[in-house]
Structures are given as structure tokens and as C-alpha cells.
Amino acid sequence: MAEIPSYLRGYEDQYQQDPRAAATEWFRDAKYGLFLHYGLYSLLGRHEWVQLREKIPVAEYAKLKDQFTAEKFDADHIAAFAEDCGMKYINITTRHHDSFCLWDSRETDFTSANSPAKRDLLAELAAACSKRRLGLFFYYSHGRDWKHPHAPNNDEWGGSARPKYDPPEPSYAYGDDHDLQIYVDLMTAQIKELLANYGQIAGIWLDGIAVPRKGPGEQFKCQELYDFIRGMQPQVLVTYKQGWLGTEDFFAPEHHVPEEGDEGRQGQVYAQPGKPLEVCTTMIGPPVSWGYQEAEDTHHKTADEVWESLREARQGNANLLRNTGPRGDGSLDPRDEPQMRAIGARLREEGFPG
């Protein structure tokens, strides 16, 4: 009998027959998850897109790695927090658009393990989630990368693929020197690491879909990637956020449940009969930010606002993935913790709204 992941205990019969079907049933039952946007941008506290918005040169931005200590990133505390909030899974940005990795990747030295932190944060979080029977999803920036020389450039892939540097960023490859396949191979190798080194995870959550949609997206070979992921861990659920090919296991639109016939921005798939939905949204906004915002005048959602978004998601038969951005030192934002814990207390008393 195949060993069942800790988060799927209670689904043993389904798991022996069809691991992905068991995981899909678990995901529907889970209803509520914690999203964490954490990376070098957290040190600046000015939005996770700060490198692009402020056109910070690649070499200058990369120096932030030397300040990354993560001294208050406590995986056990995070997992206990999610559990207290009534959540059944955690999704963390393993690598955002800035290309910095929160694990010990062999494919790059731009990692937490090669920073003053000298830690593989994913290994710590995987152990904490397994202990508490929480599913663990790995967010991975797939369409956008602001550091790798061969990631999509603005000329072919749309204006938000890269920061608009003037003069052009010297570390990027351009024209005939640019080879997207080098970047695609890197992503496959890194996703293989995520699947091989952190136990049985719940899902791979890809982001950056606007870039392949604006260019020759077939060059990303996404179906091959999906098949590769499922071949390595058959229970893993795959999403490309709002939906790219339609062969994803679930769709994850931002902020609201799409209405019938709503294809959303850039014609995303959004929903298909029988496939789950997950609404991802964040504690900050408007204006929306997923990463930590240091500014004290930033609006953080109240407990009532959080409850209302959970109610709307459940009315739409969707999960809610609620984000908070840890501070630069890795600690949870104290402006979000009380409201999110209050929802957990209310769930224990009342159950899920619907």
C-alpha cells in the first residue's frame, strides 16, 4: 500500500484508487488556506513588484540577498497560526518574479541558503506542515523572471515581462542571443527540486500567466510540465492561476468568484464543470499588495471584511486563499494576525458561512 501524505489521512480508500482524485476531494473539503508572499522585496516593504515599479537595476536589487537573515521566520509558528485560523493548507512563494529562491536550489546561488540566513525555508515549512497535517502548496513564478538572462523580454512577451530599464539592462540576453529554452529548462529543473526534496506536497501553483498569453506561449511547453509534475507526485494538484490550458486541476482567480460566462482579463479559462475554484486575495488594499507594506497608512482588512470574503467564496463554492505578507525578518505582520485569528475562532463557533 502506498504511503499516504499526512494531509490526506482520512482519504485512504480514494488515495489507493486515484491519488489525484483523493487530493481533489480533500481540496474541496479544505475550503480555506494561508498564502504567504515572502522574499527580498519584504526587506524594502514597498510591494512585491518594487523592482519593476522603481526600475531597480538587477545588480543593485541582488544586493538585498546580503541583508536576508529571516531571523524571525518560524515555520512551526506559521503552521500553528494557519491551524488556529481554521486553514487546512499553506501556499508560499518559493520564487517570485525577482527570481530569489527560498530553498537550497542547485540551479542558482540566488537563494536563502546562500544568504546570511543560510537556511532552506521550504524544508522547515514542509516539516511543520507535515506535523500538523496541513497541505503545502508551492507558488512558483513561471511566466515572469526579472533576473535570469533568458527569461521573457518585453519586446516579444509584453510590457510587464521585465522592468523597462533605460538604458537596457546589460545582464539580459537580447535578439539572437536570447534563448527561452534555457529558461524553460531551468524552471523544469527547479520544479523537479521542489517535488523531489520536500516530501509529498499538495500542489504546484504557477503564476505570471499574462506573459505567455501575450507571446508565443507554446514555447513554455506547459502541458509537458504538468505531465512531468504529475509523473513525479501523482497526488499533486496543478494550477496556472486563472487557467491557461484548461488541463489544470483547479483555477485560482483573484479577489472574487467569477460570474457565469466571465473569462476575466486576457481570456483566462477560469472554470470548467467539475473542477474546483480557489479565490486568492490579500489582507492589504486597496491599493492591493501581496508583499509586506511598511507604510502605516496602508489599509489592512478588518475581521468583518475577511469574513465577508470567505462568505462570498463559499457561496460561489470556492476555496479562499487568504494572503498576508511577512515582514523582512520573516515574522508575520502584526497588523493582520488578530483579524485572521478572529476568523478561526468564529469558524470554530459557527462553522463556514455559506
Q: What DSSP letter does each residue of 27-58 carry, written as one string?
A: HHHH-EEEEE--STHHHHTB-TTHHHHTT--H
What are the C-alpha distances in Å from 173 to residues 124, 151, 166, 169, 201?
A: 35, 9, 15, 9, 34
* Extended strands (E) in 149-304: 203-207, 237-239, 277-282
Residue 196 dihedral angles phi and psi, to the nearest 5°: -90, -25
How many CB atoms sit inside 10 A of residue 354's CB? 11
Give the sign of the dihedral formed by CA 233, CA 206, CA 81, CA 305.
negative
| pLDDT confidence tier of residue 265, bands split at 50, 70 and 90 | very low
How would you classify residue 310: left for phi > 0, otherwise alpha for psi between -120 and 50, otherwise beta? alpha
Q: What is the CA radius of gyration of the chain?
A: 19
**Between 264 and 6, residue with greater pLDDT:** 6
Cα dihedral angle (294, 300, 306, 312), rounded to 10 degrees?
-100
Give the pLDDT score at 2.
64
> Grid coordinates in use for 187?
524552471
pLDDT, tens digit (0-9, with 9 covering 90-100), for 285-319: 999 999 999 999 999 999 999 999 999 999 999 99
Cα(181)–Cα(179) distance, integer angstroms:
5
Of the candidates 176, 252, 249, 173, the residue with the CA atom closest to the CA atom of residue 208: 252
Has this prediction a pTM greater than 0.85? yes
What are the C-alpha distances in Å from 195 to residues 123, 215, 223, 316?
A: 12, 28, 17, 31
pLDDT, tens digit (0-9, with 9 covering 90-100), for 12-56: 999 999 999 999 999 999 999 999 999 999 999 999 999 999 999
What are the C-alpha distances in Å from 343 to residues 52, 57, 81, 274, 326?
A: 34, 41, 12, 28, 19
Domain boundaries defined on the chain: 6-348
From the number of C-beta atoms within 10 Å of its C-beta (0-12, 13-18, 19+), residue 29 rates as exposed
CA angle 253, 263, 306 (to 5 degrees): 30
Strands 32-36 and 318-324: parallel
pLDDT, tens digit (0-9, with 9 covering 90-100), for 185-200: 999 999 999 999 999 9
Q: Look at residue 263 and tell me whether its pLDDT is greater than 80.
A: no
Give strand pairing partners of 199.
none
| pLDDT confidence tier of residue 92, bands split at 50, 70 and 90 | very high
Give the pLDDT score at 266.
43
Q: Look at residue 261 and tell me whether its pLDDT is greater than 90.
A: no
Q: Which H or E element spans position 322?
A: strand 318-324
pLDDT, tens digit (0-9, with 9 covering 90-100), for 101-143: 999 999 999 999 999 999 999 999 999 999 999 999 999 999 8
pLDDT, tens digit (0-9, with 9 covering 90-100), for 219-253: 999 999 999 999 999 999 999 998 899 999 999 99
Residues whose CB falls within 8 Å of the CB of residue 324, separated by 6 or more in sequence, listed in order = 34, 35, 36, 282, 283, 332, 333, 336, 337, 340
Q: Which H or E element spans position 323?
A: strand 318-324
Our measurement of the distance from residue 122's CA atom to the centroid of its chain's CA atoms, rounded to an integer in Å, reads 13
Q: Look at residue 328 and tell me whether its pLDDT is greater than 80.
A: yes
Asked whether the beta carbons of 342 and 314 are under 8 A apart, the reply is no
Q: Look at residue 260 and tell me whether its pLDDT is greater than 70.
A: no
Mean pLDDT of the chain: 95
The CATH class that applies to domain 6-348 reads: alpha beta
Strands 318-324 and 237-239: unpaired
pLDDT, tens digit (0-9, with 9 covering 90-100), for 134-167: 999 999 999 899 999 999 999 888 888 999 999 9
